[in-house]
Structure 1
Amino acid sequence: MEDGFNIGDIVLSKMGRDSGRHYIVVSTDENYVFICDGDYHKVAKPKKKKMKHVEATGSRSEYVAGKIAEEAKTTNTELRRAIAEFEGTENVPVQQDEM
């Protein structure tokens, strides 16, 4: 499943100090995924992570994937909200973006 990541997929970090955190895939290349969570890793500076160090959750944010495909501005708030919905914590207040 290592080569099956698509933009908008929600993944779980398996390695590193961020292990256990959920992210959304915003870009891919041959061996890496570029992931953001809108909190520690913002849209402006996604984290580059080897594909073998993340695990697919089987979920996808169609909203975020659509915005990236349209090349529309995706905000950190939208990423945080999509991850919160996946985790079942959508009632948690979302902080404002610092842009």
Structure 2
Amino acid sequence: MSETDSSPRIGQIVRIVQGREFGQFAIIIDIVNERLVLLADGEKRKFDKPKLKNLQHIELCEYVSPEVRSSLLETGRVTNGKLRFALSKFVNENLIDLKKGDQLDGERRCN
């Protein structure tokens, strides 16, 4: 986690910076404690089997998906399709300069 990040929020988009999924994006679906969050992307990591991740191993983006957040806060659940939609919307709106097949380098930020 970089020094400009604040506390994590449900529905917030993150970029994984450590581990097997390095460079991929996911959404916070639950906050376990001050160090750990549960992540899902609706594709590899479904809502029913989220990834437990240390906050030091992710980069918090400023964007919080209102659809995912409201669904999780109202019902406690979110569909995998909604997770995929929120991530693709974020990537299309904020990371347009990435071409298909390009990888994120270590210097690129979420926001």
Q: Trace 1:1-99 onto structure 2 (pairs within 5 A).
A: 4-28=7-31, 29-71=33-75, 73-88=77-92
Q: What TM-score do the two structures reach when normalised by structure 1?
A: 0.84
Q: TM-score, normalised by structure 2?
A: 0.75
Q: Deviations over 1:29-64 (max 9, x none)?
A: 221010000011100011000001000111110110
Aligned residues: 89
In structure 2, distance between residues paired with 1:33 and 1:2: 15
Decide whether the 8 Å contact of 1:36 with 1:46 is kept in 2.
yes
CA-based RMSD of the aligned residues comes to 1.5
- Moved runs in structure 1, 4+ residues, more than 3 A? none
Q: Percent of aligned pairs with the same residue?
A: 31
- Contiguous gaps of at least 5 residues in structure 1: 90-99
Amino acid at match of 2:36: Y
